[in-house]
Amino acid sequence: MKLTFSIRGVGALLVAAALLFAPLILAEQNYLLRVLITGITYAIAVYGLNIILGFTGQLSLAHGGFFGIGVYTMGLLTTDYDWSFWGALLAAIVLTTVVGFLAGLLALRTREAYFAVFTMALGLIIYMIISRWEDVTHAYSGVLGVKLPENIGPLDFSEPATYYYLLLVFLAAAAYVTYTLRVSNVGRRLLAIRTSEDLASSIGINVGLNKQLAFTASAGFAGLGGALFASAEGFIGPNSSSIDLTFELLMFLLVGGVATVMGPIVGTLLVLALFEAFQDFQAYRFILLGPVIIALVIYAPQGLIGRLNELTLRWKRRRAAAPKTPAGPPDSDSPADPNDEKAEVR
């Protein structure tokens, strides 16, 4: 059993290794590195979306908006107000978290379809504010010259590879938090809510509070992704808060696998790679991608990673549990076989 445990980690390790060595492989390939950098900032936001959608089952369509708040906090503070990158980053996280918290107070009174539509309206309002509040956000003119992180000792972040590794640290943090959620009591509480709110409250889970916390954290991650995005791009415009972005983030998550640990990053990079491959028919790519999205939702709603998890689970079970027959219910007096494989409940 220990063996399979390590096999499981191998996949994640390989993805991590690929990401770690990407700048070396892509030396002189600024363009691909740039795509990768953008992808990672998106993926961080997707990890955020994963918390609310994956772990509590509520579809938030405001995440493009939260991303945009992060983008503009970073963008405006480092230019018009001449803050440092690090200060602005902190401010972006705090602000999106606060906005997420306040929005959650209202939004979480609604459920399911209402929640989705409510958050959609919320996202649109954020977009409208960003694209219309000329005096503050410069509206469609956008913001020029967003700062890169200030150097820390020998680390020069104007070097794309160095900046890339900084992003990787944030990405790893996002993935680690998700992993932790997946295997801890906190995550189990959220997953319980996703499956059945009634059952969850019957075992003492404060559904409202947990959803509120999840939504708040979820918004914070989206804001973090947005702030990093702004800095990576240098120039920002209102599009970085649009509803289209929300749907893109959603697609990344869906392709990768909702409620999985590796899904957000794998999904994001995979879809971006697909976009790149389809560059030549950009305008018509959705003639193909639209049906692909629909097919995914119908036939593989658990996403790539989710699907693979299922397959391995089945394989493992066939191997391990082959002799066991679902015998009649056990006699309640007889203790269970203590020789049964030592349960590792994860």
Partner 1 sequence: MLMQVRGLSKTFGGLHAVEDVSFDIAEGEITAIIGPNGAGKSTLFNLITGFYRPTAGSVTFKAKDITGHPAHRTAQAGVARTFQTTKLFEHSSIAENVLAGCAAGSRSTLIDAVFRTPRHRREEKASMDKTLELLEFTGILEFKDEIAANVPHEVQKRAAVALALATEPELLLLDEPAAGITEDETARFGQLIRQIVARGVTVGLVEHKMSLIMSLADSILVLDQGRRIAWGTPEEVRSDPRVIEAYLGAGSQGSTSQEDGIQERTPGQGA
Partner 2 sequence: MSQKSRSTLRPLIALSTVSLLALTSCGNGGGDGEGGTITIGVTGPQSGGGALYGENVEAGIRLAIDELNEQGVTIDGEEYTVEMRALDDEYQPNAAATNAQRLVEQDDASVVFIPHAGGIHAAQEINTSRSDFLIGAYSSDRRIIERDNELTFMISPPFVSYSEPFIRIFQEEQGAERLGLLATASEYGQQWTTMITQDWEDAGGEVLSNNNFDYGAVSDFASSVARTLSDDPDVILVGGPSQTTALVIEEARDQGYEGGFMIMDQAKFEELELFTDPENLNNSAGVKPVAEFDDPGTDSLVERFAEDITEERPITAETSLNFQAVALVVKAMEIAGTHEDPAAIREAMPEAAAEVDDVFRVSGFPDEVTDEGLLISDSLEGAYRDSEGNYEYFPMDIE
Partner 3 sequence: MTLFVQQFFNGLSLGGVYCLAAIGLTLVFGVLRIPNLAHGALYMVGAYLTYFFLTSAGVPYILAIALAALVLAGIGIGMERVVFHPLRNAPHTHHMIAAAGAMFFLHSLIQAIWGADFRRMESPITGRVEILGTQVSWQRVTIVITAVVVLIALTWFIKRTVHGQSIEAVEQDRVGASLVGINPNRVSMLTFGLAAALVAVAAGLVAPINLLYPTMGDVIMVKVFAIIILGGLGSIPGAIVGGFTLGMAEVMATTYVSAVAGEVIAFVVLILVLAIRPTGLLTKAVQR
Residues of this chain that bind partner 2 (CB under 8 A): 4-5, 7-8, 10-12, 14-15, 17-18, 22, 25-26, 29-32, 34-36, 38, 132, 134, 139-142, 144-145, 160, 182-183, 233-237, 239-240, 262, 266, 269-270, 273, 276-277, 279, 282-284, 304-305, 308-313, 315-316, 343-346
236: which strand partners? 143
Contact (Cβ atoms closer than 8 angstroms) between residue 230 and residue 245: no
The entry of partner 3, partner 1, partner 2, none near residue 167 (CB within 5 to 8 angstroms by kind) is none
321 counts as binding partner 3 under rule CB under 8 A: no
Any contact of residue 301 with partner 3 (CB under 8 A)? yes
Separation in Å, CA 171 to CA 8, 16, 29, 78: 20, 10, 21, 22
Q: Compute the least distance from the CB of residue 55 to partner 1, in Å.
A: 11
3-state secondary structure at position 143: strand
Is 281 exposed, middle or buried (CB count within 10 Å of its CB: 0-12, 13-18, 19+)? exposed
Q: Of the listed pieces 115-123, 160-168, 271-279, 325-333, which binds partner 1 according to CB under 8 A? A: 325-333
Tell how far CA 150 is from the center of its chain: 26
User: Could you give the 3-state DSSP secondary structure of residue 341?
Assistant: coil
DSSP 55: I
We find the least distance from the C-beta atom of residue 235 to partner 3, in angstroms, to be 24
Whose structure tokens read 């409208």?
128
Q: How far, CA to CA in Å, does 167 sit from each of 41, 226, 263, 266, 274? A: 7, 12, 18, 16, 22
Write down the least CB distance from residue 102 to partner 3, Å: 11
From partner 3, partner 1, partner 2, none, interface partner of 84 (C-beta below 5 to 8 A by class): none
Region of 23-31, 79-87, 160-168, 282-290 interacting with partner 3 (CB under 8 A): 282-290
Does 254 interact with partner 3 (rule: CB under 8 A)?
yes
Is there binding between residue 125 and partner 3 (CB under 8 A)? yes
Residue 239 interaction partner, one of partner 1, partner 2, partner 3, none, beta carbon < 5-8 Å per kind: partner 2
Transcribe 262-285 into DSSP letters. Answer: SHHHHHHHHHHHHHHHTGGGGGGH
User: Of 184 and 202, which CB lies nearer to partner 2 in the complex structure?
Assistant: 184
Strand extents, DSSP E, 137-245: none
Q: Closer to partner 3 by CB, 165 or 247: give it.
A: 247
Residue type, 102: L
Q: Binding to partner 3 by residue 287, rule CB under 8 A? A: yes
* Contacts (Cβ under 8 Å, ≥6 apart) of 228: 40, 41, 44, 70, 74, 89, 167, 170
Q: Give residue 290's identity as a one-letter amino acid code.
A: G
Nearer to partner 3, 79 or 216 (CB): 216
Residue 292 binding partner per list partner 1, partner 2, partner 3, none, with a CB distance cut-off of 5 to 8 Å that depends on partner kind: partner 3
Show contacts with partner 1 in window 184-213 (CB under 8 A): 184-189, 191-192, 195-196, 198-207, 213
